[in-house]
Chain A
Amino acid sequence: MIRSRSHVTLVMALAISGPLVCRLTAQTPQPTEYEVQAAYLSNFGRFVEWPAGTAKDPFYVCVLGQDPFGSLLDTALKGEFIAGAPMAAKRIAGPGEAASCRIIYVNPSKDTQIRNVLAGLRNTAALTVSDSADFIRLGGMVQFVLNGNRVRFEINLAAAQRAGLTLSSELLKVAAAVRRAP
């Protein structure tokens, strides 16, 4: 009785579930690494206390450097809102264009370039994210890591605080590692 009903429930739940989370959790096919990263990028903004102002502007998630997502990021952000602001993707060439960005995905070619980019973004209140190794060590805030075949992330809390961003404990809870000291 219960078993048969649970099947019905499952079918119903599948029918009404959203496409994004479906991709996130679907057993087949396994989502790609960049699909997961794009989804995470659409969610980070929800766990950050943003400084006041610029309410009417879209919530920009910027990609600095070469774009590894293609249309994946645009798809992930489509229809999502944070504090009433619609989310949108933006490709920028350098820190100079980062003024309206809330989240900046940094995809540099070299470590030296990372250092330069982060230095250029020092006065921007944006969450910096990258999947480069040493990103945290170099002063980045969120760094994607692969834990087995699962995409996780580490957090540099000191860097975020320096930029005036307060990260939710809920976010810290699900982080693979949190670096608190500068």
Chain B
Amino acid sequence: MIRVRSYSIRQKLTSMNMLVSGAALLLACAAFAVYELTYFRTTLVQSLSIQAQIVGANSASALLFNDPDSARNTLSALKAAPNISSAGIYTPAGQPFAIYARDPDNQVSYLSIPIVSPEAWKFVGNELILVRVIEFQGKRVGIVQIHSDLSEIRAGLERYAGIVAVVLAVSLLAAFLFSSIFQKTTAQPIAQLAETARVVSREKKYSVRAPVPETRDEIGDLIEAFNEMLAQIQARDTALQTARDELELRVERRTAQVEAVNKELESFTYSVAHDLRAPLRHIQGFSDALIEECARQLDETAKGYLNRIVDSTRRMDQLISDLLGLAHVGRQELHLQPVSLHRLARDVIRDMEHEIQGRNIEWRIGDLPVLDCDPGLMKQVLYNLLSNAVKYTRPRDPAVVEVGQTATEGHRVIFVRDNGVGFNMKYVHKLFGVFERLHRREDFEGTGVGLATVQRIIHKHGGRIWAEAEVDRGATFYFTLGSHENS
């Protein structure tokens, strides 16, 4: 059963046709055989009965006038019937009167079966025996018995069986051929459809089409619908591909534009900052000259103004150099190499010696890793973060600044923590903006460029920076170096 299920439609159709036609033919042949057999026997009995009647009619006078010669004469006419092996005429008492035998050795001279008027017959072995009462003008004058050899009829039946077998074989062959022909219109299109579906699902190739048969039937409709579906999928696929290509192109163009604009902006910033420096130097230079050379001619008020001018120019110079630094970070190529953060932090603290003079600061430098990064830029990061920490812990005694590493979500995170004035988390989004300040300049000096520069450097390294703080409880800055991080 399982084997039949796994057959292809083609095989199923063929076996179905063969089974149906074979069964029909076999039944028909069996019916014919049964019919032929009964017909043969009936016909045989009839013809034998007629022969017996003829013999009887022609031997009545011989019986009545005791002339066995005449009866033998009559019987000898049976030579014409090759199937009759022997025959006999008997008196009503059953005494043999005249006997005929085709083969004298096979002579039968007694009645083989009981007489039932007017006749009785019996198939015995290879013989049909028929016994008939001879009546003449209503008078029973004798009995005739005929033996018929069935071997010829048997041979005929065997011949018939042979013909049936040949017909069966030829018909099955014809059925096979016809079913093969008809398969072209049913099984073949289905097989091709299945093959096409296989190709589509295996190779995701929607450009193939199942061949549409010429006949207009359900299979043809099915295949057409399938092809139609493929066409729709193909069209959708093409549209999707086009849209994606277009999108990619657009993104590329937009990125290029953004990059160009960025570059432009950076060079603009750089040149502006650079160009602003020249007049500032003049102001600075002349202000210094005024203080040095004309101090005696100036009164205290003028001197005060002049000092303010000098302070402002100094701050502006700081601002410009910070901006230049920021722009420089943007333009600079990264030179990655393994850098010991621990050593770098120590270097930065030593460089800040001047700034921390007179301060009581407790440094807590934890176990810091060696990371792949640009040493110059990373130094800027640590410098900015540590100097911020030093700056905003000014009111604390002692100030505590901690540098360490921790881990979140499997990433290594470096942090700088202080116990300074902190800030309100409400403004945390402004923290890394250029010129954004969360404290008054009167309280804490600064240009508002430092954290922006830090953020840019971290981003450039593919990392992330964020901060947590509470007012008067200190602040913590965290950063990762993203994909450049060395584990």
Cβ–Cβ contact A25 & B113, under 8 A: no
CB interface residues, B 65-96, toward A, < 8 Å? 65-67, 70, 90-95
Contacts known (A18-B140, A21-B91, A46-B136); A170 close to B66, Cβ less than 8 A: no
Cβ–Cβ contact A170 & B111, under 8 A: no
Residues in chain B near residue A93, CB distance under 8 A:
none
Contact of B143 among A13, A24, A47 (CB under 8 A): A13
CB of B86 to closest CB in A, whole Å: 13
Contact of A5 among B62, B65, B112 (CB under 8 A): B112
Cβ–Cβ contact B61 & A6, under 8 A: no
CB of B367 to closest CB in A, whole Å: 123
Cβ–Cβ contact A16 & B64, under 8 A: no
Contact of B60 among A10, A24, A82, A170 (CB under 8 A): A170
Cβ–Cβ contact B64 & A43, under 8 A: yes
CB interface residues, A 1-25, toward B, < 8 Å? 2-3, 5-6, 8-10, 12-14, 16-18, 21-22, 24-25
CA gap between A10 and B142 in the complex, in Å: 13
CB interface residues, A 86-100, toward B, < 8 Å? none
Q: Is A174 an interface residue (CB 8 A)?
A: yes
Interface string of A46-64 (1 = CB under 8 A from B): 1100000000000000000
Q: Is B110 an interface residue (CB 8 A)?
A: yes
Cβ–Cβ contact A36 & B110, under 8 A: no
Cβ–Cβ contact A173 & B94, under 8 A: no
Cβ–Cβ contact B110 & A25, under 8 A: no
Q: Is B168 an interface residue (CB 8 A)?
A: no
Main SS at interface, chain A:
helix
Interface string of B423-452 (1 = CB under 8 A from A): 000000000000000000000000000000
Cβ–Cβ contact A10 & B94, under 8 A: yes
Select the residue from B58, B64, B97 with max chain A CB neighbours within 10 A. Answer: B64
CA gap between A106 and B411 in the complex, in Å: 159
CB of A141 to closest CB in B, whole Å: 15
Residues in chain B near residue A153, CB distance under 8 A:
65
Interface string of A147-182 (1 = CB under 8 A from B): 000111100000000000000101101100000000
Q: Is B373 an interface residue (CB 8 A)?
A: no
Interface size band for B: 20 to 34
Cβ–Cβ contact B137 & A46, under 8 A: yes
CB of A6 to closest CB in B, whole Å: 4
Select the residue from B65, B66, B113, B137 with max chain A CB neighbours within 10 A. Answer: B65
Select the residue from A10, A13, A152 with max chain B CB neighbours within 10 A. Answer: A13
CB interface residues, B 100-126, toward A, < 8 Å? 110-115, 124
Q: Is B141 an interface residue (CB 8 A)?
A: yes
Residues in chain A near residue B111, CB distance under 8 A:
6, 9-10, 13
Chain A contact residue count (CB 8 A cutoff)? 36
Contacts known (A46-B136, A174-B70); A40 close to B94, Cβ less than 8 A: no
Contact of A13 among B61, B63, B90, B112 (CB under 8 A): B90
Residues in chain A near residue B112, CB distance under 8 A:
2, 5-6, 9
A153 nearest in chain B by CB position: B65
Select the residue from B66, B70, B114, B136 with max chain A CB neighbours within 10 A. Answer: B66
Cβ–Cβ contact A22 & B61, under 8 A: no
Cβ–Cβ contact B114 & A150, under 8 A: no
CB of B94 to closest CB in A, whole Å: 3
Residues in chain A near residue B70, CB distance under 8 A:
173-174
Cβ–Cβ contact A25 & B94, under 8 A: no
Contacts known (A13-B115, A18-B140, A170-B60); A6 close to B110, Cβ less than 8 A: yes
Q: Is A27 an interface residue (CB 8 A)?
A: yes
Residues in chain B near residue A26, CB distance under 8 A:
93
CB of B110 to closest CB in A, whole Å: 4
Contacts known (A5-B113, A9-B115, A25-B66); A168 close to B61, Cβ less than 8 A: yes
Residues in chain A near residue B110, CB distance under 8 A:
3, 6, 9-10
CA gap between A8 and B97 in the complex, in Å: 18
Residues in chain A near residue B62, CB distance under 8 A:
173-174
Given contacts A43-B64, A43-B65, 8 further A-B contacts (CB under 8 A): A9-B112, A9-B114, A13-B90, A17-B92, A21-B63, A26-B93, A40-B65, A47-B61
Closest 10 CB pairs of A and B: A13-B94, A17-B93, A170-B61, A17-B92, A6-B110, A174-B67, A25-B91, A9-B111, A174-B65, A43-B64
Binding site for B on A (CB under 8 A): 2-3, 5-6, 8-10, 12-14, 16-18, 21-22, 24-27, 36, 40, 43, 46-47, 80-82, 150-153, 168, 170-171, 173-174
Binding site for A on B (CB under 8 A): 58, 60-67, 70, 90-95, 97, 110-115, 124, 136-143
CB-defined A-B contacts under 8 Å, sample of 22 = A2-B112, A2-B124, A3-B110, A5-B114, A6-B110, A9-B111, A9-B115, A13-B115, A14-B93, A14-B94, A16-B92, A21-B93, A21-B142, A22-B92, A26-B93, A40-B65, A82-B137, A150-B66, A170-B60, A173-B62, A174-B67, A174-B70
